[in-house]
């Protein structure tokens, strides 16, 4: 027996002694095992069978009404030194973290089966992949982990050969919000989650492992674990460039990952291939380029708003073999959510009660679908490539109603890291007449970076070592609004026009003008055939407001200072360089 398997067996024994289950089941990931688990969950009401004519192999799960989303205020990073967790994380010492959560785990699996779930994040034979084991008392978690990871016997075989694996211990506990914690111990490659059966709190391979723990692993091993989609953009010549993009929530990540080109582009032969919609692991290859894998094997997508018009590829993906969580159902037992626009109506809401629009929406706003990525019509065959795909461009973006143009290119890697560090989305303040409030979400990693953001920015900067051939970095803003409060850019499939310009810049074939904030395209640099833009849109989407950007850069400077002495001087110098460039063009 390999040393890692011996260590795994020892850990399983320790957990069983702590939690006291009635039985222990080692998951092999087989169809037979899954069918038995599904039958068990159907019998006890955990899963409800949906219409098998319209949605074969699909099920509905209703979670506890107090257990419907990630709980960031109960999510802790437990490092020996508090500064290593940083001001971006809730911190607890490892000793206190273990003691607090182990007291909850004591005897919690009595009367339950303890499932041992070996899994691999990423293609099973990829050197970029990393393995973990989740111990859980939730068959719902097992069924979801089977879709979201490479789970079972092949992962166990890889664990036997490898030097380490991430340990994840989970119990639904009593589903008591007062007895709920998600603890991360990055220095021990360990996760302990108690009291939730929902999504990222319970599917420990997802945000817990693939971002919080993996970001810490990546820092020590010289790679990046990022909250990014990965898409392939294929031009009419058959050449494919891969783009990784980070957006905060509600900014269209999945829609971009599964984008359908405008009709003119489709006729010309343009295609978009989906590698991943949420998480990206990147590592420099032998040629110095960044190569990326999607560590996940499935999509855990937000259902509301998904429709034939907003994201037809996502909708096609979830017509079979899908687990729906907290959606409504129609009279003939089909899944339903707000925005599906299919001409049907719900009769039962996400709590299982008769639908009453005045009481609550049919689907919870954070309701989900879990489905294999291989069911996506535009799923890239390169997603299974053990070497990963070479990244040509990295894109950051947020929901900015004002100031930020449609797209700009960072002048170099350091500027690009600053752009990512400063990104965010504006909200409307409740006070009458108040301006938008900026919530910065660096690289869309604010809830997910497993260590101090200042050290994280330094790690990004360290990749620019003179040997690596790094991607160009861009920033986009699909959400600029006009004076009438309406979006100036049509978005959705039309965003391909911006991606085309980016790849033109990567190939040194597209024009841009240099400004203090970066390289901007002119109206003539984008293919706008068939796009109707108002004069206001043409002015605001392709220009920059110097006084507004001066205020923005001052705000960014204050933000960087908030991380204290660990903040890399190079980012502060870059912020000052841009400020000076903006001041230099002040009208006399």
Q: Active-site residue numbers?
A: 251
Answer yes or no: are the C-beta atoms of 546 and 586 closer than 8 Å: yes
Dist CA 24 CA 22 (whole Å) = 7
Q: Name the DSSP class of 149.
A: S
Helices (H), 21-93: 31-44, 82-85
Cα dihedral 50, 51, 52, 56, rounded to 10, equals -60
Answer yes or no: are the C-beta atoms of 87 and 562 closer than 8 Å: yes
Count CB-CB contacts under 10 A for residue 7. Answer: 14
Greatest alpha-carbon span in the chain: 80
Dist CA 474 CA 303 (whole Å) = 29
Answer yes or no: are the C-beta atoms of 127 and 286 closer than 8 Å: no
Dist CA 411 CA 418 (whole Å) = 11
Dist CA 441 CA 151 (whole Å) = 32
Cα dihedral 366, 368, 374, 378, rounded to 10, equals -50
In order, the DSSP letters of 472-495 are EEEEE-TT-B-TTSSBSS--GGGG
Dist CA 44 CA 140 (whole Å) = 12
- DSSP-derived 3-state class of residue 186: helix
In order, the DSSP letters of 406-449 are SEEE-SSHHHHHHHHHH-EEEE--SSTTPPPEEEE-GGG-TTT-
Q: What residues have CB less than 8 Å from 549, skipping those under 6 apart?
A: 403, 516, 517, 582
- Long-range contacts of range 550-557, CB-CB < 8 Å, 24 or more positions apart? 550/579, 550/582, 550/583, 552/403, 553/578, 553/579, 553/582, 554/579, 555/438, 556/418, 556/422
What distances in angstroms separate CA 184 from CA 163, 192, 213, 214, 279, one per listed residue? 20, 7, 7, 11, 18
Half-sphere exposure of 375 (CA within 13 A, CB side): 20
Dist CA 123 CA 162 (whole Å) = 15
Structure tokens given for 319 = 């017509």
Answer yes or no: are the C-beta atoms of 204 and 193 closer than 8 Å: yes
């Amino acid at each position: 027996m390999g040393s890692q398997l011996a260590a795994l067996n020892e850990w399983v024994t320790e957990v069983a002694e702590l939690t006291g289950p009635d039985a222990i089941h080692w998951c092999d990931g087989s169809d037979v095992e899954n069918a038995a688990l599904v039958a068990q969950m159907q019998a006890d009401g955990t899963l409800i069978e949906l219409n098998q004519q319209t949605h074969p192999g699909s099920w509905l799960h209703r979670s506890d009404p107090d257990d419907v989303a990630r709980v960031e205020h109960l999510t802790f990073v437990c490092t020996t030194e508090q500064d290593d967790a940083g001001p971006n994380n809730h911190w607890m010492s490892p000793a206190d973290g273990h003691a607090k959560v182990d007291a909850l785990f004591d005897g919690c699996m009595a009367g339950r089966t303890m499932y041992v779930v070996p899994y691999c994040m990423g293609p099973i034979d990829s050197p970029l992949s990393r393995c973990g084991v989740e111990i859980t008392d939730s068959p719902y978690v097992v069924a979801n982990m089977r879709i979201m990871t490479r789970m079972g016997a092949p992962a166990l075989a890889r664990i036997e050969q490898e030097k380490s694996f991430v340990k994840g211990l989970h119990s639904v506990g009593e589903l008591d919000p007062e007895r709920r914690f998600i603890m991360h111990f990055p220095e021990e490659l360990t996760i302990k989650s108690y009291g939730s059966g929902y999504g990222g709190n319970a599917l420990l391979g997802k945000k817990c492992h693939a971002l919080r723990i993996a970001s810490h692993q990546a820092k020590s091993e010289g790679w990046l674990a990022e909250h990014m989609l990965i898409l392939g953009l294929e031009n009419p010549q058959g050449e494919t460039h891969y783009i990784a993009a980070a957006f905060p929530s509600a900014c269209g990540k999945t829609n971009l990952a599964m984008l359908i080109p405008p009709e003119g582009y489709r006729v010309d032969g343009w295609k978009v291939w989906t590698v991943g919609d949420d998480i990206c692991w990147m590592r420099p290859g032998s040629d110095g380029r960044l190569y990326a894998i999607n560590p996940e094997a499935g999509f855990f997508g937000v259902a509301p708003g998904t429709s034939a018009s907003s994201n037809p590829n996502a909708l096609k993906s979830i017509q079979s073999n899908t687990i729906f969580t907290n959606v409504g159902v129609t009279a003939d037992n089909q899944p339903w959510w707000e925005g599906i626009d299919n001409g049907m109506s719900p009769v039962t809401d996400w709590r299982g009660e008769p639908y009453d629009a005045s009481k609550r929406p049919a689907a919870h706003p954070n309701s989900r679908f879990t489905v294999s990525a291989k069911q996506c019509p535009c799923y890239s065959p390169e997603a299974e490539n053990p070497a990963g795909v070479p990244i040509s461009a990295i894109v950051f973006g947020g929901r900015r109603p004002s100031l930020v143009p449609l797209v700009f290119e960072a002048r170099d890697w350091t500027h690009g890291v600053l752009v990512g560090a400063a990104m965010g989305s504006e909200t409307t303040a409740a006070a009458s007449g108040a301006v938008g409030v900026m919530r910065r979400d660096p690289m869309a990693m604010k809830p997910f970076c497993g260590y101090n953001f200042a050290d994280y920015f330094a790690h990004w900067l360290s990749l620019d070592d003179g040997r690596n051939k790094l991607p160009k970095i861009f920033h986009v803003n699909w959400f600029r609004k006009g004076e009438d409060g309406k979006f100036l850019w049509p978005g959705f499939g039309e965003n391909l026009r911006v991606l085309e310009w980016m790849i033109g810049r990567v190939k040194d074939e597209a024009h841009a003008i240099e400004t203090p904030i970066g390289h901007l395209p002119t109206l003539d640099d984008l293919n706008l055939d068939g796009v109707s833009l108002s004069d206001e849109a043409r002015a605001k989407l392709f220009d920059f407001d110097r006084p507004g950007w001066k205020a923005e850069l001052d705000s960014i400077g204050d933000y960087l200072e908030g991380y204290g002495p660990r903040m890399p001087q190079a980012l502060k110098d870059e912020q000052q360089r841009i400020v000076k460039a903006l001041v230099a063009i002040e009208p006399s």
